[in-house]
Every structure is written in C-alpha cells, then in structure tokens.
C-alpha cells in the first residue's frame, strides 16, 4: 500500500502531477519489466542516472518578486516522499515508453514519434490534453515539453533534440532510485534549518539565498571539479573579507608559481605576489631566494588585493574543517557555461555582491553603494556578520516541491547508489582512507588495512597526468596558464 504522509500535500500532489499519472492509461512497457527487482548497486552499474545528459546554462537574478519556493525547505522531506510514492506507482504500472526519433521533434512536427512522446510525458503526469494517439506536436505538447525541460535543468525551447531526448529516456525505475537516494540527504540537510539561509546545490551548480520560505536570489556558481569535489556541509556564514589576500596553496606553489619564478623572478611583481617567511613571518626579498632548490613549503606566497586576485573582490567565510569558502572570481566567463565544475572545492559565486548586500542587510551602514565603494578602493576590510545566515552545501540530484513538481539534475560526482549524504566526496577511482594509532593505513568505510602499493601507483599515475598536461599546455603563455590555476581555487 502506498501512503502519502501529509494530507495537504497529498491533495496538492493528487490535484497536480499525481492526477495525471492516475488518469493516464495503464500500459506495460517491455523495457521496464522486472525493474522493481533491480538493486541500487545494479542501477548504478547500468549508468541509467541523470548524468547522461548535459544541463543548460541557468540565470543569476533576484527572484523575490516571483514568490518562488526554495529547493530546500521545511516541507522537502514530505514532498520528496510523496514523489517517491508517485514514481512507485508509475513503475508498478510499467513505467513509460522510450522515445525514438532521428530528427528533432518541435511544435508542428507530425509523425509516430510524437504519439510516443505524448504517452511518455503523460505517464509521468505531465499535462498533454487531447487525443493520446495524435501524431501532431501541438501547443499543449509544446508546453508539456517546456515544463519537462525546466524541471530537468535543460534549455527551455520546447524542442526534443539530443539532451531532452536523453533525459526523457532515463527509465522510470532509475528515476525512482534517484528519488530514494535523495531522501536521507534531504532529511539531513533540512534538519534545524532556519528562516534565513544560503543553499548551494552542487549537482545544479546553483546557489539560493532564502528568507522566510521564499527565494530572494538565485546565482550560478562554479563548484569543485570531479577530481577535486566540493564538500557537503552545514555551517553559518560568519565573515566577509573585502579585497582579500590570496594565500597560494602548496600545490599551486609547486606546480605553477615556482616554475614561473625560476624563469623570471620579476614575474612575482607583475602578479602582485609577495613572499613571506612563513604564514606570520616577515616579508622576504624574492631576489635573495634560490628558487631552484627551495622547498615549496618553505615560504608563504600571498597575492595582494586587486582585479587579478584569485578571489577578486570578496571572500565569504564560514567555519568548516575543509578550508573551503564562497568567493568572487576574475574568471566571470565560466558562469555562462552549462557545466560549471572547475574549482578545487571552493564555490565561486556569480554577481556575488547581490549576496553580500543581502548578508549585510540591517547591519550598520552597509548597503549596495558602500559595498561598491569598498570593492573599488581595493582596501582590505573585514566584516563580522551580526546576523549570520545559515549555510548548506548540499548534494541533491532530485527534489520535489509542494506544487507536485519533481526535479532532477545530473549525478556529477557519481554518488547516487553509494549511500553518500554529507562530508568530503572521494574522487572517482580513489579510496577513502584513515589511519590507525600506529600509522597503519585503513579503509575509511570498512576499517580494513590497506595495501600501500595501489595508492602509490595512483599517485604515480596522477603525476604522469600532470606532466602530460604540462607538455600539452607548454605553448600557452605563462600568464594564461597561471590565471587558470589561480581561478581553480
């Protein structure tokens, strides 16, 4: 027996997409037979997940006037359980058909594939009024396709071409599996959530600022690449650093800064990078250092505030054990891309000062004009927030809204089916490790001792990949190469 937990939400769901599901004809589609017996591990192995298609570029804007519900809200667990119940019904009834077409389907198209498309959308509860056997791609079907595209992060044009077709043909049992995978995550992420918070959904590469149950602003973000994934955590935004210094990580010192300085020590001055004897030590004249033999950990390299700074005009701090933060970036062009997974774990925020203005609202004389003046001055100013907003970095590949709509995004880090909820995702192909008191390497999940040889081989292969990449980019100017590395932070 399938039960929808909340009476009001049940009425909304049945009045919306559930009604469409229950009204559609009972048809058993062969590709779905036996799907209920497929394990989560088997589903993951078949790669039926939403990561098979590419999302469309999204938009950064203030949306408070649109009265939009946030992705993460106090009702999220109930609405997701309702969605699971709905998709369980869909799977038990045979799922939906596979749409096959060699040509893109658009409004005005007329062929047999349109009939299958109509039945495919109807099976999931999308409103496709009219004759279910109609071969004509009419206005009603156009609106249903656009609704589907919006809920899957696709380009909203009503055109059933490559990416939309791929999303349509993800099997119903795989969608049900994805919804179930996100239930424990949603329960964790919504725990103790307040009235004012910032949420970054890594698979969607989007940030929402939320106040009293409605989205104030939505921002494109650049998040961790697959080999350097962003952590999933809960915290509070505590401080803003305007015109911050950027302290270069040892990895960038070793791989980028030292190779350039060995060719030309004056390069440091061009990039506004100063050298210090340790983190709190005195400044050192770089001309007195033998960069050919120096240990990358020996000195601290600090980039001064300014347009070339890797964090640009602001760094947004919050307590966490992963040393990550939100920040501005000089590389604004990446926000226009559909797939925005380029950082080393930190989160770059598009139109970041919409967010900083919201975070400082009601605090002393901070406002849009003051923030603009401070960033223009390049003066170092730190602001402790008097009313810290909660922060959630989350990993949601599916969520549901009270209006009955269900949304999916690509499983960027391939975490569905692994039981992952929060913490630091392990890059694909790597093993999560911990240490015994005597220093023995242990598998972090099983507690069993690990053979060091495979890990050493992994490190060797990564180093070979780094060297290969250096050769491939040797023809690029050193300014371009360093800028990319700095932006990766």
Q: How far apart are CA 204 and CA 198, in angstroms?
A: 14
Instruction: Give the Cα separation of 322 and 312 in Å (integer).
Output: 21
- Tokens representing 167? 């999303």
Question: pLDDT for 227-264, tens place per residue?
Answer: 889 999 999 999 999 999 988 888 789 888 999 999 99
State the Cα–Cα distance between residues 383 and 64, nearest whole angstrom: 25
Q: Calculate mean pLDDT across residues 448-461.
A: 60
Q: Nearest-CA neighbor of 179 among 346, 396, 345?
A: 396
pLDDT higher than 90, residue 488: no
pLDDT in tens, 379-398: 999 999 999 999 999 999 99
According to the model, what pLDDT value does residue 386 have? Answer: 94
337 versus 159: the higher-pLDDT residue is 159
Burial of 112 (0-12, 13-18, 19+ CB in 10 A): exposed
pLDDT, position 280: 81
Mean pLDDT computed over 160-175: 95
Q: Is 327 noted as a catalytic residue in this protein?
A: yes
For 147, residues 6+ apart whose C-beta sits below 8 A from its C-beta are 126, 127
The answer on pLDDT for 446 being more than 50 is: no
How far apart CA 239 and CA 379 sit, in angstroms, is: 16
The answer to whether 53 and 163 are in contact (CB under 8 A) is yes
pLDDT at 476: 52
pLDDT the model gives residue 252:
82
Number of residues that make up the chain: 489
Active site residue 155: no
Does residue 451 have a pLDDT over 90? no
Q: Are 213 and 196 in contact (CB under 8 A)?
A: no
Residue among 33, 3, 478 nearest 266 (CA): 478
Which of 255, 237, 278, 270 has its CA nearest to residue 385? 237
Distance CA 326, CA 379 (A): 19
Q: Which two tokens stand for residue 434?
A: 């911990």
Q: Which long-range contacts (CB under 8 A, 24 or more apart) does 375-381 make?
A: 375/242, 375/243, 375/313, 375/314, 377/243, 378/243, 378/305, 378/306, 379/242, 379/243, 379/305, 380/241, 380/242, 380/243, 380/244, 380/245, 380/305, 381/241, 381/242, 381/243
Query: Which tokens hold the place of 209?
Result: 């600022």
CA dihedral 413, 414, 419, 422 (to 10 degrees): 10
pLDDT at 56 over 90: no
pLDDT digits (tens, 9 = 90+) for 26-42: 444 544 333 333 333 34
> Per residue in 295-342, pLDDT tens?
999 999 999 998 778 889 999 999 999 989 999 998 898 998 888 998
Asked if 400 and 81 touch (Cβ cutoff 8 Å), the reply is no
Q: What is the DSSP letter of 381?
A: E
Question: What strand order describes the sheet that includes 300-303?
Answer: 246-247, 300-303, 273-276, 283-284
Largest Cα–Cα separation, the chain: 82
- Predicted pLDDT of residue 133: 87
CA distance 453 to 438: 19
Q: Radius of gyration of the chain from Cα atoms?
A: 25
pLDDT band at 452 (very low <50, low <70, confident <90, very high): low
Considering the candidates 177, 219, 327, 353, report the single residue annotated as catalytic: 327
Please give the span between the terminal C-alpha atoms of the chain, in angstroms, as a whole number.
50
User: Which DSSP category does 287 fall into?
Assistant: G
Can you list the alpha helix ranges (DSSP code H) found in 47-138?
76-92, 112-123
- CB–CB of 178/83 below 8 Å? no
pLDDT mean over 86-108: 96
Note whether 489 and 246 are within 8 A (CB): yes
Sketch the domain layout of the chain as residue ranges: 7-57+72-179, 246-304
Report how far residue 259's alpha carbon sits from residue 67's, in angstroms, rounded to the nearest whole number: 52
Are the beta carbons of 8 and 78 closer than 8 angstroms?
no
Strand partners, 317: 239
Going by the DSSP 8-state scheme, the letter that residue 71 receives in this structure is: S
Angstrom distance (rounded) from CA 317 to CA 126? 42
Residue 347 parent element (H or E)? strand 347-349
In this structure, how many other beta carbons lie within 10 angstroms of the beta carbon of residue 407?
17
Contact 218, 448 (CB under 8 A): no
Given the residues 152, 177, 219, 346, select the one marked as catalytic: 346
Comparing CA positions, the residue from 222, 224, 226, 228 lying closest to residue 348 is 222
Q: In which residue are the tokens 């077709």 written?
A: 165
Question: What pTM, to 2 d.p., does this model score?
Answer: 0.78
| The pLDDT of residue 400 | 97
Q: Is the pLDDT of residue 12 over 70?
A: no
Q: Which token pair is 181?
A: 């995978």
């Amino acid at each position: 027996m399938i039960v929808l937990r909340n009476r009001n939400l049940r009425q909304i769901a049945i009045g919306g997409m559930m009604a469409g599901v229950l009204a559609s004809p009972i048809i058993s589609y062969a590709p779905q037979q036996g799907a209920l017996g497929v394990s989560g591990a088997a589903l993951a192995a078949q790669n039926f997940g939403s990561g098979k298609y590419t999302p469309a570029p999204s938009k950064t804007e203030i949306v408070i006037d649109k009265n939009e519900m946030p992705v993460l809200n106090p009702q999220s667990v109930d609405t997701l359980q309702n969605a699971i119940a709905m998709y369980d019904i869909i799977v038990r009834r045979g799922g939906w058909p596979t749409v096959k077409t060699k040509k893109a389907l658009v409004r005005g198209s007329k062929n047999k594939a349109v009939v299958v498309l109509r039945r495919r959308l109807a099976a999931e509860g999308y409103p496709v009024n009219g004759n279910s056997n109609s071969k004509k791609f009419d206005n009603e079907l156009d609106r249903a396709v656009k609704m589907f595209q919006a809920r899957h992060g696709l380009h909203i044009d009503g055109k059933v071409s490559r990416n939309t077709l791929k999303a349509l043909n993800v099997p119903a049992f795989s969608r049900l599996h994805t919804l179930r995978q996100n239930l424990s995550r949603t329960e964790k992420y919504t725990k103790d959530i307040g009235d004012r918070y910032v949420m970054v959904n890594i698979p969607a590469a989007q940030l929402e600022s939320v106040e009293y149950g409605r989205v104030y602003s939505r921002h494109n973000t650049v998040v961790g690449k697959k080999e350097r994934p962003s952590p999933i955590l809960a915290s509070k935004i505590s401080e803003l650093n305007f015109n911050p210094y950027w302290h270069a990580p040892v990895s960038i010192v070793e791989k980028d800064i030292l190779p350039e300085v060995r060719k030309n020590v004056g390069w440091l001055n061009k990039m506004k990078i100063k050298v210090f004897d340790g983190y709190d030590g005195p400044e050192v004249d770089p001309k007195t250092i033998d960069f050919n033999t120096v240990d990358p950990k020996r000195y601290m390299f600090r980039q001064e505030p300014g347009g070339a700074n890797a964090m640009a005009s602001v760094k947004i701090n919050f307590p966490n054990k992963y040393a990550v933060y939100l920040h501005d970036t000089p590389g604004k062009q990446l926000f226009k891309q559909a797939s925005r997974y380029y950082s080393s774990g930190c989160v770059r925020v598009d139109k970041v000062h919409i967010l900083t203005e919201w975070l400082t609202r009601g605090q002393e004389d901070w406002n849009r004009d003051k923030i603009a003046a401070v960033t223009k001055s390049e003066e170092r100013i730190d602001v402790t927030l008097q009313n810290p907003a909660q922060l959630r970095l989350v990993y949601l590949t599916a969520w549901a809204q009270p209006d009955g709509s269900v949304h999916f995004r690509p499983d960027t880090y391939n975490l569905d089916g692994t039981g992952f909820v929060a913490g630091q995702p392990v890059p694909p192909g790597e093993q999560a490790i911990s240490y015994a008191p005597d220093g023995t390497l242990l598998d972090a999940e099983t507690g069993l001792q690990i053979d060091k040889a495979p890990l050493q081989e992994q490190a060797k292969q990564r180093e070979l990949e780094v060297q290969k990449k250096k050769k491939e980019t040797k023809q690029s100017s050193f300014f371009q190469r360093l800028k990319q590395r700095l932006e990766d932070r």
